[in-house]
């Protein structure tokens, strides 16, 4: 009887081991399949930017390039025909200035919402954050006619004004949550020594939120850099276009140039945001860590 029970237990264990092994192999196969799907567009980009127009047209889209030399020609053609200098300078201006101003204003708003005592703080927070509740697309038509009436349509000032305003709510939420966890004893000690509110903000609070501010700045810069919708509607002149708008116009106007040129332009356009992230990655990771505590 005991031997029979032991045999049943062994069979059960072996069956479970086989099922577990099959499950591991199935998981591995699914993971490899998903990875290939994920990698395929990057592979297509990597092999296409090194092909000439003739090589891309006459060969398979996924075939390896014959050499690396065509990349420089593709890059020069993309840079010149797409007028990427205007787009990258404009996007850099909108991202650095607009994103930076938005984060600084958000830090001041978060300071007022967490470090000062007055009535209606929740009302003001909800007023600031209400802009993110509705879909951004609903702002397009009112903004277009409002900008047209103010004569700031297709101007860099108008684009900076929009990007600064639209990027304030989310950093306010993040910085408010972080400042809520900071001790207020240093604030009170500074006020007792005669420090004003701006001194408390700039010398005590601001140095302690550099990490979270860097994190939200990178997120807002990336959003501004990749924005196409508002740039197309509010800034469609060559001198005002963002880099994504420039790429869209280039793709539509120079479709005959071939995917190799368009993809090379897209790769060049992604370089600044990647470099900025690599430059500030230490502060970004620190900011993400402390803002989630």
The CA-to-CA distance between both ends of the chain, in Å, stands at 58
Residue 220 is predicted with a pLDDT of 95
Q: Are residues 230 and 281 in the same domain?
A: yes
Query: Per-residue pLDDT for 78 more than 90?
Result: no
Domain limit, last residue, from 72, 94, 115:
72
CATH code of the domain containing 158: 1.10.3720.10
Q: Are residues 68 and 148 in the same domain?
A: no
Query: Per-residue pLDDT for 293 more than 60?
Result: no
For 129, the enclosing helix (H) or strand (E) is helix 121-129
Query: Per-residue pLDDT for 58 more than 60?
Result: yes
Domain limit, last residue, from 57, 72, 87:
72
Q: Are residues 11 and 128 in the same domain?
A: no
Question: What are the pLDDT digits (tens) for 94-141?
Answer: 999 999 999 999 999 999 999 888 888 888 888 888 877 778 888 888
**C-beta atoms surrounding 231 within 10 Å:** 26
Question: What are the pLDDT digits (tens) for 179-222?
Answer: 988 888 888 888 888 888 888 898 889 988 988 999 999 999 99
How far apart, in Å, are the Cα atoms of 67 and each of 47, 63, 124, 259?
A: 10, 12, 60, 17
Residue 290 is predicted with a pLDDT of 54
Q: Are residues 102 and 199 in the same domain?
A: yes
Residue 288 is predicted with a pLDDT of 60
In terms of Cα–Cα distance, which of 261, 275, 269, 235 is closest to 88?
Answer: 269
Q: Are residues 82 and 227 in the same domain?
A: yes
Task: Yes or no: say if 224 and 233 are a contact pair by the CB < 8 Å rule.
Answer: no
Q: Are residues 39 and 116 in the same domain?
A: no
- Reported confidence tier of residue 151, pLDDT bands at 50, 70, 90: very high
SS3 of residue 164 by DSSP? helix
Q: Are residues 115 and 232 in the same domain?
A: yes
Q: Are residues 21 and 123 in the same domain?
A: no
- For the entire predicted model, the pTM comes to 0.84
Tally of domains within the chain: 2
Indicate the average pLDDT of the chain: 86
For residue 205, give its domain range. 74-291
DSSP string covering 62-75? TSPPS-STHHHHHH
In angstroms, how far apart are the furthest CA atoms of the chain? 94
Question: What are the pLDDT digits (tens) for 214-250?
Answer: 999 999 999 999 999 999 999 988 899 999 999 988 8
Residue 2 is predicted with a pLDDT of 46
Query: Per-residue pLDDT for 267 more than 70?
Result: yes
Task: Yes or no: say if 130 and 165 are a contact pair by the CB < 8 Å rule.
Answer: no
Query: Per-residue pLDDT for 42 more than 60?
Result: yes
Residue 233 is predicted with a pLDDT of 92
Mean pLDDT of the region 275-282: 86
Q: Are residues 115 and 68 in the same domain?
A: no
């Amino acid at each position: 009887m005991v031997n029979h029970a032991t045999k049943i237990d062994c069979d059960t264990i072996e069956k479970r081991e086989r099922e577990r092994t099959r499950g591991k192999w199935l998981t591995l196969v699914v993971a490899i399949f998903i990875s290939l799907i994920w990698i395929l567009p990057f592979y297509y980009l990597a092999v296409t930017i090194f092909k000439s127009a003739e090589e891309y047209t006459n060969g398979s889209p996924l075939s390896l390039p014959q050499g690396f030399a065509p990349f420089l020609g593709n890059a020069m053609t993309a840079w010149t025909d797409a007028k990427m200098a205007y787009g990258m300078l404009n996007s850099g201006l909108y991202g650095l200035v607009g994103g930076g101003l938005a984060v600084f204003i958000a830090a001041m708003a978060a300071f007022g919402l967490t470090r000062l005592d007055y009535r209606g703080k929740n009302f003001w927070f909800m007023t600031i954050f209400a802009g993110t509740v509705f879909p951004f697309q609903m702002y397009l038509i009112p903004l277009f006619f409002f900008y047209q009436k103010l004569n700031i349509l297709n101007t860099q000032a108008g684009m900076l004004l929009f990007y600064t305003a639209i990027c304030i709510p989310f950093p306010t939420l993040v910085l408010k949550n972080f400042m809520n966890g900071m001790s207020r004893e240093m604030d009170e000690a500074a006020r007792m020594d005669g420090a004003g509110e701006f001194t408390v903000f700039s010398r005590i609070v601001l140095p302690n939120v550099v990490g979270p501010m860097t994190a939200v700045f990178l997120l807002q810069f990336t959003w501004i850099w990749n924005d196409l919708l508002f740039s197309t509607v509010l800034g469609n002149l060559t001198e005002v276009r963002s880099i994504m708008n420039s790429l869209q116009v280039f793709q539509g106007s120079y479709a005959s140039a071939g995917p190799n040129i368009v993809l090379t332009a897209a790769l060049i356009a992604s370089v600044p945001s990647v470099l900025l992230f690599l430059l500030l990655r230490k502060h970004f990771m620190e900011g993400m860590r402390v803002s989630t505590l």
